A and B are shown apart, each in its own frame.
Chain A
Amino acid sequence: MKDLYLVYKNLTRKKLRLFLTSFAIFIAFLIFAAVTALQGALNSGVEMSADNRLVVFNKINFTQPLPYAYINKVSGVDGVKNVTFANWFGGYYQEPANQVVTMAVDPDSYFEVYSELVVTPEQKANWLQNQAGVMVGERLANVNNWQIGDRIPVSSNIFSNKDGGQTWDLVVEGIFTANDPQVDTGYMVFHYKYFMETQSWGGDYVGWIVLTTDDPALNEQVAKAIDENFANSQAETDTSTEKAFNKAFIEQIGNIGLIIFGVVFMAFFTILVLVGNTMVLAIRERTGEIAVLKTLGFSSPRIFRMILTESCLLAFLGGLLGLGAAYLVVGGLSQMMARFLPNLVLGPDIVLQALGYMLLLGLITGIAPAYRALRLNIITAFARG
């Protein structure tokens, strides 16, 4: 503790240098934390995917439907536990810019397959009884201030109903939550049967099938069996784990992980060189003072620790400010983009990771000058003047 004052005075002796160096570190950690939070938001669907949940899509691409008859065939595959299905609706509320993710689903099985979603038995029973009922996710309900019993006109930018319009009047019968705050509840689901009966295109198909297996170890075997079952049919299937599908979906806009790694690596490398160089110069300037401290009786390991502490303090000073700024930036963006990136948060995992990098940055940039000071010979240092 006694040395901390010395460390502090050394750190702050050249204010402009301290400002510029810590500003560079500030920028690096601002970028790191903000970009990592963005990556987390994009990957949250991947992270929250159940291990034993598979999705079956048309092999051409996921916008092509599958015959309704596939559902029973998939149910009969060994290792399959529960099966449900869904169809994209493409909804918006009041105006096209106000997109609401809406799917037509099988009400009997949907919440069995998505067991992380929580809905009260009473609300579920009401929903099952009302064909025009809709179950709204908590986040979506909060954004639009919807309550149970509200009648909400939802329009589709894909489908028309048999009246020639594009709007369905749905009644909020329930608001579902999730057993984990990371699970997205920013969407709503309504009856598949009602949708098929009221939309003008007709047909006997579903958008995709979702199933759970008895054991994640069976995933590969089940996926293979399903795809082989529909091989050479008019609608061949592509079955994958939900996690793999979500990851592939996200990667359509680029390999986010690689981009983030690149940005963070470049930022950190630049900062590492800059801070490292600054520390080396700062300690070199103090060669005489270090020799005096050693002469007075300060041990070499103690001086080594003081210099490492100084470089770590510098890293934490800039880094914590950068982290604080990132917290504000991410908080602001999170409110602005709540509809599209519901999980844009600077969570404790990012904070811990950043703290780890700060420590690493401090140690790496401090180790060379600290070692030089450790090895510094008093007589040689004084002889250099």
Chain B
Amino acid sequence: MSDENLFELKAVAKRFKKGKETISIFDDLNMTIKRGDFLAIMGPSGSGKTTLLNLLGGVDQPTGGEISFDGARIDGLSEGELAKWRANNIGFIFQFYNLMPMLNAAKNVELPLLLTSLSSKQRQQRVDTALQLVGLADRAKHMPSEMSGGQLQRVAIARAVVSDPKLLLCDEPTGDLDRQTADEILEMLQLLNREFGKTIIMVTHDPAAARYASHTLHLDKGQFVDKEDDDVLQEKSA
């Protein structure tokens, strides 16, 4: 595995049983994701986008093949080992933000840091920095119910980056936002990719969102059917 590759998938298969029937999502999926990439994954419903994201995020395990992250296999890890791996390496951004409703913005951002050995003061410093990064330093004490969708997603981004993970996995991060807010969020992701070197993998239905990525992969029926660069996509979108 090349040093510049962060992820490498070899002959990955994912099947599950539904009654007596075995449904195959992927049969022989191969891909590599380079460090510092901002990759958009598009495709119709049922194409396997979310399953792929789950496999990359270590919340699901393949039924065959190999997945390597930073040179180490993750497909054989136990549930506990995967949890630790996720905490150390991945930041998640969800479509519906998935913030804890009983915690204020700062406490939500602090959640991943509870899995580290940082002191309370160190955690507070990191939370402050993350909230400043997303422009919500003045909303630290606000509850999720007191914030707009765009602000909630920015809190979610702060939560995703607060532990300084190598990879951000975004599942339809703008799916619940208006165009202007979506653009703000996508610009923020672009900033995290370009200025802070975060590798970002984003699943989206929105071609306009995919424009912000440096690469786009199209999935259909468990296979990458097309690989287009940003410029081609922009042309198509236009």
A288 touches B59 (CB 8 A): no
- Report the Cα distance A89→B228, complex, angstroms: 109
For window 82-117 of B, CB contacts with A under 8 Å fall at 83-88, 92, 94, 98, 100-103, 107, 111-112, 114-115
Number of inter-chain CB pairs below 8 Å? 61
Chain A residues, CB < 8 A from B19: none
Given contacts A2-B114, A379-B59, contact A300 B101 (CB under 8 A): no
Among candidates A295, A298, A301, residue contacting B59 with C-beta atoms closer than 8 Å: A295
A297 touches B59 (CB 8 A): no
Given contacts A2-B114, A293-B111, A378-B59, contact A299 B80 (CB under 8 A): yes
* B43 CB–A CB distance under 8 Å: no
Chain A residues, CB < 8 A from B102: 9-10, 12-13
- Report the Cα distance A9→B60, complex, angstroms: 29
Given contacts A299-B80, A300-B80, contact A379 B60 (CB under 8 A): yes
Interface size class of A (residues with CB under 8 A): 20 to 34
Number of interface residues of B (CB under 8 A): 25
Identity of the chain A residue whose Cβ is nearest the Cβ of B114 in the assembled complex: A2
Chain B residues, CB < 8 A from A5: 107
- Report the Cα distance A164→B16, complex, angstroms: 102
Identity of the chain B residue whose Cβ is nearest the Cβ of A2 in the assembled complex: B114
Given contacts A288-B98, A379-B60, contact A298 B79 (CB under 8 A): no
- Report the Cα distance A299→B84, complex, angstroms: 8
For window 262-292 of A, CB contacts with B under 8 Å fall at 288-289, 292
B83 touches A300 (CB 8 A): yes
For window 1-30 of A, CB contacts with B under 8 Å fall at 2-3, 5-6, 9-10, 12-13
Chain B residues, CB < 8 A from A297: 83-88, 112, 115
* A59 CB–B CB distance under 8 Å: no
- Report the Cα distance A19→B103, complex, angstroms: 20
Q: How far is the CB of A296 from chain B (nearest CB, A)?
A: 5
- Report the Cα distance A289→B103, complex, angstroms: 12
- Report the Cα distance A272→B7, complex, angstroms: 50
Identity of the chain A residue whose Cβ is nearest the Cβ of B80 in the assembled complex: A299
Q: How far is the CB of A314 from chain B (nearest CB, A)?
A: 15
* A339 CB–B CB distance under 8 Å: no
Among candidates A10, A13, A298, residue contacting B83 with C-beta atoms closer than 8 Å: A298
Q: Which residues of B contact A (CB under 8 A)?
A: 54, 57, 59-60, 79-80, 83-88, 92, 94, 98, 100-103, 107, 111-112, 114-115, 159
List the 3 closest pairs (A to B, CB-CB), nearest first.
A297-B87, A13-B102, A9-B102
Besides the known contacts A296-B111, A297-B86, 6 further A-B residue pairs in the complex with CB atoms under 8 A apart: A12-B102, A295-B57, A296-B159, A299-B79, A299-B83, A379-B54
What are 7 A-B residue pairs whose CB atoms fall within 8 Å in the complex?
Answer: A5-B107, A9-B100, A296-B86, A296-B112, A296-B115, A296-B159, A297-B85
